[in-house]
Amino acid sequence: MTDEAPLLEASGVEKRFGAVVALEAAALTIRRGEIVALMGANGAGKSTFVKILTGALRADGGHVRIRGADRVVGSPAEARKSGLVPVYQEPSLIPDLDVTDNLRLGGTDAAKFTRWMSELGFTEMDLAAQVATLPLATLRIIDLARALASEPDVLLLDEMTAALPTDLVEAVLRVVQQQAEAGRSVIYISHRFAEIAQVCQRAVVLRDGATVGEVPIEAGAEERIVEMMLGEAIKPGETAAQRATPAPKGAPRVAVKGLGATGKLTDVSFALHPGEVLGVVALEGQGQDELFEVLAGARKPDRGVIEVEGTARRFNHPADAIRAGLSFVPGNRADALAMQQSVRDNLALPFSARARAWGPINMRREGEAVARTIERLQIDTRAQGEVGRLSGGNQQKVTIGRWLAHGCDTLLLFDPTRGIDVRTKRQIYPLVRELAEGGASVLFYSSELEEIQLACDRCIVIFNGRVVDSMPAAEADEPRLMRAAYGLTGSAA
């Protein structure tokens, strides 16, 4: 097998966006039947590399050889012809069309697609459903099934599992393994070591746009990869178990009573105290999206009460929630950012929101507030003229930093570490703790169970639109959370 030319071989790949160097020496080799992890901190260039390999972007330099022949992959269609098929980080379906029409656009065989969907656990997929009405997790699975239906030689998965609940992650990993067994190859991008350890043979590590090494997946590989990614050793994070968590005292800042909306959110009650980080755990689509949207004023509840500082509030618009001190950081960064505008404009956006602030901006004072936020969150400002050019981690810092600069009593963080690198994650947990120590309240939904102990004081588990369990973070180990998230515990809160 080794004497056969590699399926895909890329070396010295370069890409610049204006003054920003995204890639300078990216390299990767994959052979038939291999599953290779592509790893790197956010901004290391993983997504750019994948886009170049699959023809969505053009490289400024370097070689890409497919089955031993030099190629310039000029378009996604050419890449597809050569057997390279990607599933990108963002769903690539047209929201206003139904699933069938989306398949037709890409020339996907509906029968094969349906077979893969049932392989992935969606046995009764409604092909007439309008894409906009489907949950994010389903869209990701559709993207994957569509890619699989074209029978790719090399499947490139960019953060495929980032927005998926655990059961779907398992299904994806199973399918990835099947690909390898059938002699096909997979390039697997993820920040989750557990998944990589489960399916990959080796990991190619990118740092600052260059391939810095390759690590075979074996015991201890995790630490080596992290070291390579960071270029420095990292300290294990402090966990709640080591922290003395005082029981919440006094009146709650936000009290939610019997909240319900759109059928998915049926009956949720909890109290959030000043200085407290309350974790929210739920499988995909248990009503957590609706809960956060209602608290943010972006959706109207059907029933229930939100009390802030003891007073019942009705939020008809996000502006009402913000005035009551509740600020929302949505799960999808593209929902929160004006991508073509500068870091400054995005950070300062809430300052200008109210009509009384429409006049001249105090540039000096605002500039200082923005600079302080950039400094505090260590936002990479090399591409600050356009937020869309920042890496995912830096974009996330801008969406959070906006509310730090503006000031808020209660921060609603919806999966704030989704698809971002270890380094940024490890900046976000202490930041959340620091905000709480400063007296803020934080509601923290996470799709990664271990984060509950890393960042929260207490957590509630939502299943089927109801709170089914609640516990201090010290007791929130993954088995207990997992059981509760699947609705297997009796001790309702």
Partner 1 sequence: MLRFKALLRDHPIIPLLVLLALLVGTLEIMRPGIVGERWIANTVKFAIPLAMLAACQTLTMLTGGIDLSAAIVATISSFVMATLVPFYGAAGAIVLSLIPAVLIGLLNGIGVGLFRVHPLIITLGTGLIGTGCLQVYQSTVIATGSEVPEALAWLGTGRTWGIPNALVLFLPFAALILFAQRRTGFGRLLYAMGDNEGAARLAGVRGWQVYLALYALSGLIAGVAGLLYVGLIKAPSLSLAVPLMLPSVAAAVIGGTSIFGGRGGYAGTIVGALILTVLGTMLTLLHMPEGARRILFGGIILGVAAIHLRLTDAR
Sign of CA dihedral 316, 317, 322, 323: negative
Nearer to partner 1 (CB atom), residue 194 or residue 361: 361
Nearest-approach distance from CB 25 to partner 1, in angstroms? 18
Instruction: Quote the least distance from Cβ 89 to partner 1, whole Å.
Output: 18
C-beta of residue 86 within 8 angstroms of C-beta of residue 158? yes
Contacts of 368 (CB under 8 A, 6+ apart): none
Contact flag: residue 411 with partner 1 (CB under 8 A): no
479 near partner 1 (CB under 8 A): no
Give the CA angle between residues 25, 31, 33 to the nearest 5°.
Answer: 135
Q: Is 132 in the site for partner 1 (CB under 8 A)?
A: no
Rank residues 17 and 122 by Cβ distance to partner 1 and give the closer one. 17
> What is the size of the binding site for partner 1 (CB under 8 A)?
38
Choice between 20 and 25, CB closer to partner 1: 20
Binding mask 272-301 for partner 1 (x = CB under 8 A): ------------------------x-x---
Q: Is 355 in the site for partner 1 (CB under 8 A)?
A: yes
Residue 7 structure tokens: 């399926």
350 sits near partner 1 (criterion: CB under 8 A): yes
CB 210 within 8 A of CB 24: yes
Least distance CB 341 / partner 1 (angstroms): 6
67 half-sphere exposure, CB direction, 13 A CA radius: 7
Q: Does 164 bind partner 1 (CB under 8 A)?
A: no
* Binding range to partner 1, per CB under 8 A, among 6-14, 95-103, 149-157, 319-327: 319-327
Minimum distance, C-beta of residue 362 to partner 1, in the bound complex (Å): 10
Kindly state whether residue 16 participates in binding partner 1, applying the rule CB under 8 A. Answer: yes
Chosen residue from 358, 364, 375, 491 binding partner 1 by CB under 8 A: 358
Binding-site string for partner 1 from residue 185 to residue 204, where x marks contact by CB under 8 A and - marks none: --------------------
Choices 194-202, 229-237, 263-271, 340-348 (CB under 8 A): range interacting with partner 1: 340-348
Q: How far apart are CA 377 and CA 368, in angstroms?
A: 14
Q: Using CB atoms within 10 Å of the CB of residue 345, give its burial: 0 to 12 exposed, 13 to 18 middle, 19+ buried.
A: middle
Q: Which residues pair with 326 in a beta bridge?
A: 410
Residue with Cβ nearer partner 1 (178 or 340): 340
Do the beta carbons of residue 54 and residue 86 sit within 8 Å?
yes
Residue 11 exposed, middle or buried by CB count within 10 Å (0-12, 13-18, 19+): middle
- In whole angstroms, the minimum distance from the beta carbon of 286 to partner 1 comes to 22
> For residue 401, how many C-alpha atoms fall within 13 Å in the half-sphere facing its CB?
26
Residues 320-339 that bind partner 1 (CB under 8 A): 322-323, 328, 330, 334-339
Residue with tokens 């509601």: 443
Residue 466, helix vs strand vs coil: strand
Kindly identify the residues of this chain, within the stretch 76-95, that bind partner 1 according to CB under 8 A.
Answer: none
Max CA-CA distance within the chain? 73
Is residue 28 within a helix (H) or strand (E), and if so which, with residue range?
Answer: strand 20-30
**Least distance between partner 1 and beta carbon 335 (Å):** 6
43 binds partner 1 (CB under 8 A): no
Strands (E), 220-331: 254-261, 265-272, 277-281, 303-308, 311-313, 326-329
- Which range binds partner 1 by CB under 8 A, 314-322, 417-425, 438-446, 472-480? 314-322
The stretch among 47-55, 85-93, 306-314, 346-354 that binds partner 1 (CB under 8 A) is 346-354
Q: Report how far Cα 470 is from the mean position of its chain's Cα atoms.
A: 25
CA–CA separation, 392 and 411 (whole Å): 20
x-marked contacts with partner 1 along 378-407 as a string, rule CB under 8 A: -------x----------------x-----
Nearer residue to partner 1 within complex by CB, 157 or 294: 294
* 26, 209 contact by CB (below 8 A): yes
The residue behind tokens 């004023």 is: 297
- Candidates 64-72, 176-184, 245-253, 349-357 — which segment interacts with partner 1 by CB under 8 A? 349-357
> Of these, 29, 92, 106, 351, which contacts partner 1 (CB under 8 A)?
351
Is position 352 an interface residue for partner 1 (rule: CB under 8 A)? yes
Cα–Cα distance measured from residue 318 to residue 255, given in angstroms and rounded to the nearest whole number: 18
Options 15-23, 106-114, 236-244, 274-282: segment touching partner 1 (CB under 8 A) = 15-23
Q: Name the nearest CA neighbour of 162 among 133, 135, 187, 191.
A: 191
Q: Which residues bind partner 1 (CB under 8 A)?
A: 16-19, 296, 298, 317-319, 322-323, 328, 330, 334-341, 345, 348-355, 357-361, 363, 385, 402
